[in-house]
């Protein structure tokens, strides 16, 4: 089975030393993962681990009079290789997504764009992001995997990306290595996970998840 791309969104579950410790643990068990960490932790984590580090969001604004915004140049300057956009917890209009992708492309940042509908997938595909993550917001953090609850839709999503260079990821409720394996069977090339790793239900369950990935792939 092809080794899937695993993107771990730390959200704001952990920060500082706890975020760095988690990044190091992920590196031990699944060193091909992408980690999306809080902005204030990007620089240190990018220096301390060999994982690919993304931001969880970036703003459209340009250098100069853009007080308080996190701009693509700032992310690139502290070691980020890309960013998530349009997560269900940080939604953007399509026009804003398009302009932000253009800004990211101009400084060499990859983009993973989240969406919850097949109609939006077709629009986002035209932007040619690095990856599209298909998530059902109702299942995020639920422990009920999108690969089981919405398997037909996930398969349809993966089919839309089949002949493109855009990586299809699925997310929401992914909580075991078996869920990841199921996503591959449905046609995805990886997953976007958060609470299964960054906010484990029981102590040590994040290591179980990561060890399960390592053993399966």
pLDDT tens per residue across span 155-197: 999 999 999 999 999 987 788 888 898 999 999 999 999 989 9
Q: Where would I find the H helices in the chain?
A: 16-29, 39-48, 72-77, 94-107, 118-125, 146-149, 151-160, 177-185, 195-198, 205-216
Q: Which of 135, 149, 206, 207 is catalytic?
A: 135
**Helix count and strand count (H, E) for the chain:** 10, 8
Q: Which of 48, 87, 90, 206 is catalytic?
A: 87
Active-site residue 135, yes or no? yes
Rounded to 5 degrees, what are φ and ψ at 109?
Answer: -90, 130
**113: helix, strand or coil:** strand
Rounded to 5 degrees, what are φ and ψ at 82?
Answer: 180, -170
Active-site residue 57, yes or no? no
Is the pTM value of this prediction over 0.85? yes
Integer angstrom CA distances of residue 82 from 2, 11, 57, 132, 180? 23, 15, 9, 13, 22
pLDDT tens digits for range 10-62:
999 999 999 999 999 999 999 999 999 999 999 999 999 999 999 999 999 99
């Amino acid at each position: 089975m092809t080794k899937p791309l695993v993107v771990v969104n730390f959200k704001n579950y952990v920060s500082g030393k706890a975020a760095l410790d988690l990044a190091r643990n992920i590196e031990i068990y699944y060193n091909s993962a992408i980690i999306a960490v809080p902005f204030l932790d990007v620089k240190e984590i990018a220096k301390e681990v060999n994982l690919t580090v993304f931001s969880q969001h970036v703003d459209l604004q340009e250098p100069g009079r853009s007080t308080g915004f996190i701009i693509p140049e700032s992310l690139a300057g502290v070691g980020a290789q890309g960013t998530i956009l349009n997560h269900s917890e940080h939604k953007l209009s399509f026009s804003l997504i398009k302009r932000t992708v253009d800004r990211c492309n101009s400084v060499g940042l990859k983009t993973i764009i989240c969406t919850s509908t097949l109609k939006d997938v077709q629009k986002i595909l035209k932007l040619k992001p690095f990856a599209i993550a298909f998530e059902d917001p109702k299942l995020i953090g639920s422990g009920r995997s999108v690969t089981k609850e919405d398997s037909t839709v996930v398969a349809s999503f993966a089919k839309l990306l089949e002949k493109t260079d855009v990586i299809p990821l699925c997310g929401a409720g992914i909580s075991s290595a078996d869920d990841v394996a199921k996503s591959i069977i449905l046609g995805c090339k990886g997953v976007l996970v958060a609470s299964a790793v960054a906010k484990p239900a029981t102590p040590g369950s994040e290591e179980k998840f990561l060890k399960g990935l390592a053993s399966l792939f």
